[in-house]
Amino acid sequence: MNAIDTIVAISTPPGRGGIGIVRLSGSEARTIAEELVELRMPLEHARAKLAWVLDDGVRIDEAVVTYFAAPNSYTSDELVEIAAHGSPVVLELLVRRALAYGARIAEPGEFTERAFLSGRMDLTQAEAVRDLIEAKTLAQARLAASQMSGALSHRVQPVKRALMDLIAMLEAGIDFAEDDIDVAAEEEIARRIGDLVPSLEALAKSYAGGSVLHDGLTLAIVGRPNAGKSSLFNQLAERERAIVTATPGTTRDLVTERIAIEGIPIELVDTAGVREALEEVEKLGIERTHEALADASLVLIVLDATAELNEDERRLIAAVEDRAAIIVRNKCDLFDASTPQQTIPGPLTVIQTSALTGHGLPELRAAILKLATGGAAIEPGALTTLRHRQAVEQTLVALRKAAEANTMRIPHEMLLLDLYAALERIDELTGHTSNDTILNLIFSSFCIGK
């Protein structure tokens, strides 16, 4: 990609709206923009100017044009944004005319990629731009905003600086050994490597909560027919999404709804009741229940607290003993002296609820949140993607190899190979040593115009 190419794209979502924005960036961005519109006043850096959009010299729309001079723009290149009315016809006209004047259509994420390549942001900040655009909850937006401000980079920088200091010390000892510069003792090297590990291990652990907030999870609600699964589903969804009747087996297919608990996106899945089915349709529904159970990140097994456990329920409980699951004893509002005492096998958390009255719902939401995050708070600068986690884990692997080499008194030239490998892995996190394959994978997932 030629960094001085002028690129153009519509930066607002497809469709009609009050405002639509066409963005240009590159060495000819200002020149081309001045051909597309009739400005009422000359362009100035970071100042919005009124203009007419022209078609063969005829005014067809009024627009606001904002010019950002290089290097003080989002991309560090010349950048112009033309905010017209959100008519697809007008926006497409502006793009077509910009192409005629020498611009080219921007690739997905190319504006942000230019910002990264120019050094205005590192790779974690660039990824956060995409995450902010795609955020479905306020908590996701907050996390993305903290990453855009460099929260993750700030956590990594002290480790990187300490690692570079250690490398520099060992390199000096090798390069200037003849000048009687002391080579670090084994104990000093071990201490310095050891000091790096706790911060990286804490960062690696942050992935558990960060990835859940970033990606969300699926929660399957399973149990016998008429245990109150659909009623509980509606309570968690806070609307009448699933059909509820007194007739067992009403739910024949999967019903889904997206909710958020403390900002964590959760896809609820209401399933067909598990029993020995007689009808073909119900059999298919129960098969899908087992598929949803296998695919879910979390499982709620809903029991009818007024009835004894049956074999289907015992099998369900046994099947999720080693998974993230909660037992929900529903219909607790119907307890009386004749209610059978259920014995719940296994170590799973048990919550008493009433889907009719809402009793126990706050406790259930809290239990779901704790299970989803492992009980850990989601902190600014948490790892959110598998790429992040792999970079940190590979850094730790390289440091442990270096520590082992130091213990075995392997020459420092060889020890440095592991330390440089650790530095490369940690640099992959922020993008300083990322290869083109990684960059293409990341920026291709952006929308065009960003």
DSSP H stretches of helix in 216-310: 229-237, 280-295
Region 72-99 average pLDDT: 95
The whole-angstrom separation of Cα 108 and Cα 1 is 13
> Which tens digit of pLDDT belongs to each residue from 194-226?
999 999 999 999 998 898 888 889 999 888 888
The whole-angstrom separation of Cα 143 and Cα 124 is 12
> Which tens digit of pLDDT belongs to each residue from 437-448?
667 767 777 787
- Does residue 341 surpass a pLDDT of 90? no
- Residue 260: half-sphere exposure toward Cβ, Cα within 13 Å: 13
> How far, in whole angstroms, is CA 17 from its chain's centroid?
28
DSSP 219: E
The whole-angstrom separation of Cα 328 and Cα 342 is 12
Superfamily of domain 219-373: P-loop containing nucleotide triphosphate hydrolases (3.40.50.300)
3-state helix, strand, coil in the chain (%, to 5): 45, 20, 35
The domains of the chain are located at: 7-120, 129-206+382-431, 219-373
Average pLDDT, the chain: 85
> Which tens digit of pLDDT belongs to each residue from 5-63?
999 999 998 888 899 999 999 999 999 999 999 999 999 999 999 999 988 888 999 99
373 against 426, higher pLDDT: 426
The whole-angstrom separation of Cα 249 and Cα 352 is 23
* Number of CB atoms found within 10 A of residue 312's CB: 17
* Burial class of residue 216, CB neighbours in 10 A (0-12, 13-18, 19+): buried
pLDDT for 119 equals 87
Q: Which CATH architecture has domain 7-120?
A: 2-Layer Sandwich (3.30)
pLDDT for 107 equals 92
**Residue 2's pLDDT band (cuts 50, 70, 90):** very low
Residue 91 host element (H or E): helix 88-100
> Which tens digit of pLDDT belongs to each residue from 291-318?
888 888 899 889 888 888 888 888 888 8
Q: Which CATH architecture has domain 129-206+382-431?
A: Up-down Bundle (1.20)
- Does residue 1 surpass a pLDDT of 50? no
- Does residue 418 surpass a pLDDT of 90? yes
> Which tens digit of pLDDT belongs to each residue from 96-141?
999 999 999 999 989 999 998 888 888 889 889 989 988 888 888 9
> How far, in whole angstroms, is CA 78 from its chain's centroid?
31
Structure tokens of 54?
């022209």
**Residue 253's pLDDT band (cuts 50, 70, 90):** low
